[in-house]
Structure 1
Amino acid sequence: MRKFVSLLSFFSLLGICLGAGGSIGGGSTSTGDLGSVTETENTRLFRDGISLMLTCDYNYTNIGSTWRKNGTELEENHHYHMFSNTSLYIPSLNRDDIGEFSCLIHGHTEEKYFYVVDLLLHKHLPKSTTVLENDKLKLTCQIEGTPIPSVQWLKDGEPLDNEENSTRLVFEENTHHVPNASLLIKPILKSDFGSYVCLITIHSLHLNTTTEVRVKDIYAALWPFLGIVAEVTILCAIIFIYEKRRIKPNLDRADMDEINEQKNATEQNKETEIRQRK
């Protein structure tokens, strides 16, 4: 009996633990990680102190070219080196180099453009996000950059349209003033479960971070509590029945003793009366 009670108590504690841990969870995050973003020929990531080589056309080896930054023509100096193979070399980048570069090969009319951008993802979205039905959900893409990147939200691979869901979906800028970087869904419905992607674009660079959203039933938090109540009720009932069965034989034994005492007393009285008659 004691083993059974101990086992039932163990399952009660287990139910409490499961109930406490079943509300909201999230995955791990990483800081300052751009993940799988890949530089392109025309768009390069800014890295302080790193060298950079831009080439206007690899088919030319001995021809003049003109380079501009944000529309202003560059001159040869200790920071900018221009070569006859239409290349521009910067030995050590600094933040002033963030911007638009263009080159024009002498004798040509079409310019070629390059971009040096600064992009920083402070934190990925959690791998999974769990929220109760009819509650609100806010997902924030902690991104910043120069120039300001554009952000688009996808659900299961399809773009989320603010106009079609204007009553429940709200797109806001994040703390770094990037437009649409925060997504608020209020209230959230069971149909909102799925894979949400924050797609970040800056010129020809693309970066994304993803979270799986799970929507729990509104009464989900109540089930562990009801389970605990049921377990405690069963435990109390078992203890009551056990104690009742244990006490009953003692009462029956006491009743028999009382009957025997009464019987003995009656017999003694009869013997006394017989003696007095004699």
Structure 2
Amino acid sequence: MQGLQILVLLGLLGYCFGAGGSVGGGGGGGSDIEVVETEGVKRLIPEKPLLLSCNQTHGDNVSWKRNGELIVDSGRIKVHKQNSSLYFTSAEKGDAANYTCMPSQQTISVVYLKLNKKLPSSTTVLENDKMSLNCQVEGIPTPTVHWLRDGVAVEEAINSTRLELQDNDSVKDGKLRIEPVLKSDKGNYVCVINQYSLVLNTTTEVKVKDIYAALWPFLGIVAEVIVLCIIIFIYEKRRIKQEDYDDSDTDQDANEQKSPTDDKEAEVRQRK
């Protein structure tokens, strides 16, 4: 019986831990990222090659300027006069700038843009609690950030008394905060990052649980424990009653099985 009780307790503990894990919600990873380049904007990736090209070939007359200053060939940066291109063997963050091809005056903006951490694929919060989303992006020049909920700007979708946009370590309005959270706040939240013509997105699905959602698994566990205790109590009571009944039957059988010799000896003692 003790073994049965231990198994029941272990089962309950496993159920408790399982229920507690499921209430938290919210997973990691899984966002849509989109980066679109144009002829006038190029995104550099540190330690990767970068090629800038003019629309026209200028031959020996070609030259390039960086933010208005003439570029001189170095071990890492080369001006190829044959095709009027500027080549970086290994780009660096500091290479983000405006580059102009001379004499055509064609300008290309080279930018650095990186999403340090995606939003989780889903975010679960309790009703009347608070929610905070952080769009962790960095760039040169500093990108701009705005938030959408189901395709609508959060400033229009959520009451301003509950919504707050804060700056994070790298960008303005990088943090979105809602307090208190209502059931109507559920939906797909998108952090949209813009840098010139570059667009980068990261999305999370926000789920809002009932304020008592975390209580139901606990109440279920309590009810199960009570039922099991009642079953164990009834079982033990019946077992003890059965043992008492068996003991009484054994005593009666012993009395009935006395031999005739014992009766004769009792009669002789009485006569004396």
C-alpha distance in structure 2 between counterparts of 1:208 and 1:185, whole Å: 20
C-alpha distance in structure 2 between counterparts of 1:37 and 1:234, whole Å: 58
Deviates further, 133-142 or 46-55: 46-55
Question: Contact 2:147–2:154 at 8 Å: present in 1 too?
Answer: yes
**Counterpart in 2 of 1:69?**
66
**Counterpart in 2 of 1:102?**
100
Q: Deviations over 1:83-136 (max 9, x none)?
A: 376x34134444443112234655xxxx54311111121111111111111111
What SS is found at the alignment partner of 1:23?
helix
1:199 aligns with 2:192: yes
Name the aligned partner's letter for residue 129 of structure 2.
D
**Counterpart in 2 of 1:129?**
123
Q: Deviations over 1:232-276 (max 9, x none)?
A: 111111111112222334445667869x98xxxxxx9xx99xx99
Question: Contact 1:154–1:197 at 8 Å: present in 2 too?
Answer: yes
Name the aligned partner's letter for residue 23 of structure 1.
V
**Counterpart in 1 of 2:237?**
244
Name the aligned partner's letter for residue 226 of structure 2.
T
Deviates further, 44-53 or 207-216: 44-53
C-alpha distance in structure 1 between counterparts of 2:216 and 2:158, whole Å: 35
Report the number of matched residues. 255
Name the aligned partner's letter for residue 16 of structure 1.
C
Calculate the aligned-residue CA RMSD, in Å: 3.6
Deviates further, 15-24 or 73-82: 73-82
Name the aligned partner's letter for residue 13 of structure 1.
L
Question: Contact 2:119–2:135 at 8 Å: present in 1 too?
Answer: yes
Question: Contact 1:22–1:221 at 8 Å: present in 2 too?
Answer: no
Structure 2 unmatched ranges of 5 or more: 256-262
What SS is found at the alignment partner of 1:22?
helix
What SS is found at the alignment partner of 1:161?
helix
**Counterpart in 1 of 2:37?**
39
**Counterpart in 2 of 1:16?**
16
1:152–1:237 distance in 2 versus 1, CA, 3 Å = same
**Counterpart in 1 of 2:86?**
89
C-alpha distance in structure 1 between counterparts of 2:110 and 2:233, whole Å: 78
What SS is found at the alignment partner of 1:154?
strand
**Counterpart in 2 of 1:158?**
152
Question: Contact 2:64–2:79 at 8 Å: present in 1 too?
Answer: no
Question: Contact 2:99–2:107 at 8 Å: present in 1 too?
Answer: yes
C-alpha distance in structure 1 between counterparts of 2:7 and 2:93, whole Å: 66
**Counterpart in 1 of 2:220?**
227
C-alpha distance in structure 1 between counterparts of 2:92 and 2:14, whole Å: 57
What SS is found at the alignment partner of 1:248?
helix
| TM-score computed with the length of structure 2 as normaliser | 0.77
Name the aligned partner's letter for residue 28 of structure 1.
G
1:148–1:242 distance in 2 versus 1, CA, 3 Å = same
Name the aligned partner's letter for residue 213 of structure 1.
V
Name the aligned partner's letter for residue 203 of structure 2.
T
Question: Contact 1:8–1:231 at 8 Å: present in 2 too?
Answer: no
Structure 1 unmatched ranges of 5 or more: 262-267
* Match runs of 1:114-193 below 5 Å: 114-161=108-155, 165-176=159-170, 178-193=171-186
1:96–1:88 distance in 2 versus 1, CA, 3 Å = farther
1:17–1:163 distance in 2 versus 1, CA, 3 Å = closer
C-alpha distance in structure 2 between counterparts of 1:249 and 1:54, whole Å: 94
What SS is found at the alignment partner of 1:26?
coil
Between the two proteins, what is the percent identity of the paired residues? 43
Question: Contact 2:158–2:185 at 8 Å: present in 1 too?
Answer: no
**Counterpart in 2 of 1:265?**
none
Question: Contact 1:168–1:186 at 8 Å: present in 2 too?
Answer: yes
Q: Deviations over 1:160-192 (max 9, x none)?
A: 11796221111111122x001111111111111
